[in-house]
Copies of this chain bind each other. A is one copy, B any other.
Amino acid sequence: MPRTGRPRSFDDDQVIGGALEIFWRHGYAATSLRDLKGGIGVLPGSLYAAYGDKHAIFLRALGRYVDASREQADGIAAEGPVLPRVRELLLGVLEAARAEPGRGCMLGNTAAELLPRDEAAGRLVHDGFGALESGLERALDAARRSGEVRPDIDCGAQARLLLALMQGLHVVARAEADPRRLADAVDAALAPLTARPGSDHPDR
C-alpha cells in the first residue's frame, strides 16, 4: 500500500537559515510571519505544518546560531598563537557593526529582548554564552602554558571578562557613528594579558 506523500518543496536548512537571518536583524517580536514569508518564500501555513508555531521556528533558528557559536569558540581554542585571534574576534565585532549596523549578536539580542522570561530561549543563550566562555578559557589556558600570556593570569575570570566585553561592544557599537572608535578598548583589555618581554616563561 502507498505510504509516502508529496515531498517538501523547501529545504529545511534554507528555511531555518533564512529565518535566523531575519530574526537576527529584527528581533523576535518585530518579526512577523509575513516577514519570514517575504524573506524565505514559504507561506505561514507550511511553516506551521512543518515546525509548529512562531516561537518554535525562532528556537530552531537560535539553536542554529548556538551551534555556529560553538564552532567559533572551538576555532578560538585551536592551535597557534591565541591573542591575535582573540583580538581579531573583538575587532571583528566592531567591523561587523560598521558594515552591517543593527545586527549585533543573536545571543545578546535574544538575552536583552526575551530573557529571563523565555526559559527555552534562555537555555539556548546560556549554552551559547557558555560555549564562548569555555572556548576563550581553553584558549587562554593554552596560551598561558605556551608562555603567550602571563603565568599569573586567572584564565576563567579573563574569559568571562572577554565574553562580557564582546557583548558590550555589540551593544555600545550600535550607538556609535563609527564603531572603530572603540578599538582601543580592545587593546586595553588585551594588553595586561601579554607576558613581559624579559619575563620568565616556563617552557620553550
A binding-site residues for B, Cβ under 8 Å: 27, 29-30, 101-102, 104, 107-109, 111-113, 115-117, 122, 125-126, 129, 154, 156-158, 160-161, 163-169, 171-172, 174-176, 181-182, 184-189, 191-192
Contact = CB atoms under 8 A, between A and B. Distances in A.
A131 to B, nearest CB: 12
A104 to B, nearest CB: 6
A13 B30 CA distance: 30
30 contacts: A101-B115, A101-B116, A102-B116, A107-B175, A111-B174, A111-B175, A112-B112, A112-B174, A129-B172, A157-B184, A157-B185, A157-B188, A158-B185, A158-B188, A160-B182, A160-B184, A160-B188, A161-B185, A161-B188, A164-B165, A164-B168, A164-B171, A164-B172, A164-B185, A165-B165, A167-B167, A167-B172, A168-B169, A171-B171, A191-B192
Contacts of A176: 126
A174 B109 contact: no
A158 B187 CA distance: 9
Most buried by B among A158, A168, A182, A184: A168
A4 B101 CA distance: 49
A30 B115 CA distance: 13
A161 B125 CA distance: 23
Contact of A154 (B117, B169, B181, B184): B184
Contacts of A175: 107, 111, 115-116, 122, 125-126, 129
Contact of A29 (B30, B111, B157): B30
A112 B175 CA distance: 10
A166 B115 CA distance: 18
Nearest to A160: B185
Contacts of A166: 168
A57 to B, nearest CB: 18
